[in-house]
Chain A
Amino acid sequence: MFNRIGIDVGGTYTDAVYITNGQIRHTAKVPTQSENLVETLMNAFDNLKIQDEQEISQITVSTTLVTNAILQNRIPPVKLFLYSGNGMKVDALPWPVNYTELRGEMDYRGREITSPDEEEWQKLNLADLEDDYSHVAIVGKFSHRNSLHEEQLAGYLKEHNPTIRIALGHEWGQSNFYRRSLTTYLNLGVSDLYQQFVQQLQAAVRARNIQAPIFILKADGGSLPLAKIRPIDSIYSGPAASVLAALTQTAPDESSIIVDIGGTTTDIGLALSGVPLLSSKGAQIGEFSTLVRSLAVRSIPVGGDSVVRLNDQGVVLENYRMGSAYCLGGANPTPTDAMRYLQLIDYGDLGLAEEGLYSLLPSEQRTPETLEKLALDIINIVVEKIARAVDSLQREWQEEPAYKVWEVLHPQENKTFRTIVSGGGARGITTALGKRLKTPVQLGAFPEVSNALGAALSKPTFDCTLHLDTYIKQYRVEETGEQGKWTGALRPHREVEGFIEALAQQQAADYGIEVQDMEKEPFDFFPIVQNYQTVGQIVRGSVHVRPGVIGRVQV
């Protein structure tokens, strides 16, 4: 039994869907008033015609708010301090923000090489921190192995000015100093904006008498309670939601290629045996490379409204749109016109579609035969571009780097895919796409609210990755940045199973979620040897709850 609401707060529209046990009760689409989100949300709730607010068990929201703020450069400056140490030159990678480097270095096991220099701290112009910067991010190379230096500087700054907001890099416990720095920076930078959004959301929910817990959709297709999510994790929840929406219309263990065609952009995702494929690298947003776990999605500049031109080589599809399709009153022929002309879709004016396509041809070539060929060519180009992106995603999956002999000897098995196409021109390309991809093609239902639908049926994802060094007697958890003392054996065996289990349960409790069906990765044990003696072990292991949907919808 579930009664769920999914909401997708986009830049232009806010979509909502109300689902009871696989049945869509009502959907809503209201314009987003960015200056008055509370009212926008209340409007959406009203349109859902909820009869019994108490019945609702969960509201899940996907929002482009944080994404847009970053892409539009609307985040306040954050002062970034780096313990960059030795190694690759810091500026070998492009930094979209300013930083100040400080003395202090750790090694890959979290052992101190050089301690920080308090005299250097005293020379920092801390007056700046009061005036220009109320937000400070401190990130050390290898701080995910030892947070000491970050904590020391944070303590010093707090003493100097208790009001500044400080974020520490080790809270993002994955390796990659560069990405950890930028992720810490961004997460702190968007935190005020996000808090504001949380308040507006809560106000709207309260105003409509809904008691249900509110969850936010993350880039990895999972959801977490409003108060527990790290703001930056909410980026790219739109494409994630559209992948989840497709999964609500497939059999649970099916592998699918998910194609969502928009006006100018087509998003393509992949689900393997019902589980969406995660990107092997963190998300890239604008100029920022982050550690945000996200679904592997390809966005290509092809859509129903892409402008079509003809040159010596033939048909060319531009990366942009200029208004709507010709058959819908626009000024330029587009793939939509080709679909309309071939009567693959039923919206738009047939006469205008023909006129638009004719305008591409020199007058002496304007015959029904050439026109039909032109229309087919346009559709094939769209399909080819989509198919190439699908190929590249499948390669990403099959060519994931392997670091163990076992992995190389047991490569990814080939899977049988089904393709799910949704969005404006979906109907127009099903046949051609199926032929090119050699898979059955299914039209996605509810395209007008697909993101809200995906959000509504999302489930909490959960990862707990342990890195344990029994010689140094330290353990770290990647996802939370927790670092603690290990009091167990130097060469633990069974012990670590219980340990990670307990960590995971604790973490789930902190998130306020229930985790079931945790998937365990086998542990990797690395004996640490000194002078031919085994003196300890490094143990790596993880448990997961993969992204997916909690139910299916009746189409």
Chain B
Amino acid sequence: MKRTGILFFPAFDWSLGDSHPEREERLLYTQEQLFEEGVLDLPQIKQYSPRVASLKDVLRTQALFPNPEAHTEGLDPHLISAGSSLLLGEAQVKGEIHNGFVMARPPGHHSGATVWGNRGFCSLNNEAILVNYLRAGFGKKKIAIVDTDVHHGDGTQDIFYHDPNVLFISLHQDGRTLYPGSGFVNEKGGFNAWDLTLNIPLPPGTGDEGYHYVLENWVLPRLHAFAPDIIINSAGQDNHFTDPLASMNLTAAGYGRITELLQPDLAVLEGGYSIEGALPYVNLAILLALAGEDYHHVREPQKIKRNTVTLAALKPYIQELKRQQEAAKPSLSFQSKPFFPSGNWIYSPHSVYYDTEGFQETRHDYVRECSDCGGTVYIESRKYTEKSILVRIPFQACASCEQAGYDLWEHLQNSKESFSYGFLQNQLHDSHYVWNRKEGLRKF
């Protein structure tokens, strides 16, 4: 029997604030719906209980700035959500289950390579932490993430932007009309991983038919051409027509069809804040679709009130978008610091806004140009006056990028430059270090 795993972790004792969308109530009605339907009695469904991810699991993927201790308070729910993804992902690759659904709070896809705090309700990137866990411990090489949350998965994109072995596809409501305001077709990945990020911004009002059309005609061909070892779906549910934060027109059964088309090995809940009108039904439809059951009878009580973009109107829009996407070329800026090891360093400065706490992170990213691997990454990141630095030796790093990483790391520990903490993310050997002049070196 093909089994479907479910890890339901509604975090009933945790919220980001009394009336915050990310609150105790969020999965309450989903629980009522799933339990009342008797879904857990389906013979192919296997329920798992959560576990806590370790700091090492996190640091393999994300640098916690200025240092891990600064996050200890309040990180627990996020570690459980991430740990839940790891547990179910592991069950999938070990063949215990055919596929699975991590229905856990809090979400994660806005959380990027460097983390100073919570943004877009996310502190840790559950899917990204899972992806690197599977690569570090289970020999997975090529992984695809398809993000069907209505918001651009900017955190996930940031983490894998230079990674030639991870295909990241995000479908979302156009960033000109919705948080976080990114995810345009010209964002196609860093130079070393060009065309491994695909953003498809959709017009507000897109409905089931339009969404499925884009999946069938754009996403699936791209996905199949990549031929990943495993497909992960960031299954946000805020494309639903009742969502209070976004303006799309998908239905619960429409989400069932998305799942059926994508055939993800693992679906991981992201956003979705119509906690009464959508979540109980969308969660049910996704789970039924994963379990190979009929989801067409899942019908939310409300009717669509917003105008839906017709397929006839959407088709030319998508064709134009695709043309622009294909035409987009990398814009390169080379710049390096005096102490940088040899090679061409691609420089991209940008800033990240943390809406939950209201501050700005300023980033200076440098990536070593490389045709053999993802390239050494050097990131200087600043919040107010505090500065931390990340050095990353990527998975499957070539010898010269590995050496470049060590050289940078050695330089940091001897430099006169003032910064709070340095992080070495050695994905190649799965050993991760935090260093500070006063506290010395710590291994994770």
Contacts of B41 in A (CB 8 A): 93, 176, 178-179, 289
A93 touches B38 (CB 8 A): yes
CB distance from B221 to the nearest CB of A (A): 32
Report the nearest B residue to A409, measured CB to CB.
B76
Given contacts A86-B299, A176-B41, contact A405 B80 (CB under 8 A): yes
Of A88, A107, A401, A405, the residue contacting B76 (CB under 8 A) is A405
B52 touches A88 (CB 8 A): no
Contacts of B49 in A (CB 8 A): 399-402
CB distance from A252 to the nearest CB of B (A): 29
CB distance from B272 to the nearest CB of A (A): 15
Of B23, B37, B284, the residue contacting A177 (CB under 8 A) is B37
- Tell me if B294 is interfacial: C-beta within 8 Å of chain A: yes
- Pick out which of these stretches binds chain A: B3-11, B322-330, B421-429: B3-11
Interface mask (B1-29 → A, CB under 8 Å = 1, otherwise 0)? 00000001111111000110001110011
Which of B31, B32, B293 has the largest number of chain A CB atoms within 10 A? B32
- Tell me if B35 is interfacial: C-beta within 8 Å of chain A: yes
Contacts of B11 in A (CB 8 A): 403-405
Question: How many residues belonging to B are interface residues under a CB distance threshold of 8 Å?
Answer: 43
- Tell me if B405 is interfacial: C-beta within 8 Å of chain A: no
Contacts of A92 in B (CB 8 A): 42, 288, 293-294
Contacts of B8 in A (CB 8 A): 401, 403
- Tell me if B262 is interfacial: C-beta within 8 Å of chain A: no
Contacts of A107 in B (CB 8 A): 301
A525 to B25, CA, bound (A): 9
- Tell me if A121 is interfacial: C-beta within 8 Å of chain B: no
Of B9, B32, B38, B51, the residue contacting A108 (CB under 8 A) is B32
Which positions 392-435 of chain A face chain B at CB distance < 8 Å? 399-406, 408-409
Interface mask (A525-536 → B, CB under 8 Å = 1, otherwise 0)? 111110011100
B297 touches A403 (CB 8 A): no
A177 to B42, CA, bound (A): 13
CB distance from A384 to the nearest CB of B (A): 23
A176 touches B19 (CB 8 A): no
Interface mask (B61-82 → A, CB under 8 Å = 1, otherwise 0)? 0000000000000001100100
Interface mask (A98-110 → B, CB under 8 Å = 1, otherwise 0)? 0000000101110
CB distance from B173 to the nearest CB of A (A): 21
Contacts of B38 in A (CB 8 A): 88, 93, 176-179, 289
A92 to B36, CA, bound (A): 14
Contacts of B288 in A (CB 8 A): 88, 92
- Tell me if B413 is interfacial: C-beta within 8 Å of chain A: no
Contacts of B13 in A (CB 8 A): 404-406, 524
- Tell me if A142 is interfacial: C-beta within 8 Å of chain B: yes
Which positions 69-104 of chain A face chain B at CB distance < 8 Å? 86-89, 92-93
CB distance from B197 to the nearest CB of A (A): 33
Contacts of A145 in B (CB 8 A): 32
A105 to B297, CA, bound (A): 13
B25 touches A175 (CB 8 A): no
Report the nearest A residue to B78, measured CB to CB.
A405
Contacts of B14 in A (CB 8 A): 404-405
A116 to B303, CA, bound (A): 20
Interface mask (A454-495 → B, CB under 8 Å = 1, otherwise 0)? 000000000000000000000000000000000000000000
Of A113, A177, A534, the residue contacting B18 (CB under 8 A) is A534
Contacts of B35 in A (CB 8 A): 175-176
A93 to B18, CA, bound (A): 39
CB distance from B243 to the nearest CB of A (A): 14
A532 touches B297 (CB 8 A): no
Contacts of B39 in A (CB 8 A): 88
- Tell me if A538 is interfacial: C-beta within 8 Å of chain B: yes
- Tell me if A135 is interfacial: C-beta within 8 Å of chain B: no
- Tell me if A4 is interfacial: C-beta within 8 Å of chain B: no
Given contacts A88-B38, A401-B49, contact A527 B18 (CB under 8 A): yes
Of A113, A402, A405, the residue contacting B301 (CB under 8 A) is A113
Of A86, A399, A400, A524, the residue contacting B298 (CB under 8 A) is A86
Contacts of A141 in B (CB 8 A): 36-37
Given contacts A87-B298, A93-B42, A405-B76, contact A108 B33 (CB under 8 A): yes
Given contacts A93-B42, A113-B301, contact A403 B10 (CB under 8 A): yes
B9 touches A403 (CB 8 A): yes
A88 to B42, CA, bound (A): 11
Given contacts A87-B284, A403-B9, A405-B77, contact A526 B24 (CB under 8 A): yes
CB distance from A240 to the nearest CB of B (A): 23
Report the nearest A residue to B275, measured CB to CB.
A529
Contacts of B36 in A (CB 8 A): 108, 141-142, 144, 175-177
A408 touches B51 (CB 8 A): yes
A88 touches B12 (CB 8 A): no
Of B25, B51, B298, the residue contacting A528 (CB under 8 A) is B25
Interface mask (A178-216 → B, CB under 8 Å = 1, otherwise 0)? 110000000000000000000000000000000000000
B19 touches A534 (CB 8 A): yes
- Tell me if B420 is interfacial: C-beta within 8 Å of chain A: no
Contacts of B32 in A (CB 8 A): 108-109, 142, 145, 175
CB distance from B41 to the nearest CB of A (A): 6
B50 touches A402 (CB 8 A): yes
A402 to B49, CA, bound (A): 6
Which of A88, A399, A403 has the largest number of chain B CB atoms within 10 A? A88
- Tell me if B155 is interfacial: C-beta within 8 Å of chain A: no
Contacts of B18 in A (CB 8 A): 527, 529, 534
CB<8 Å pairs between A and B, sample of 13: A86-B298, A87-B284, A87-B299, A109-B32, A175-B32, A176-B35, A176-B38, A178-B41, A179-B41, A403-B12, A405-B13, A524-B13, A525-B24
Per CB-CB distance, the 5 closest pairs between chain A and chain B, nearest first, are A178-B38, A108-B32, A175-B35, A86-B299, A404-B13
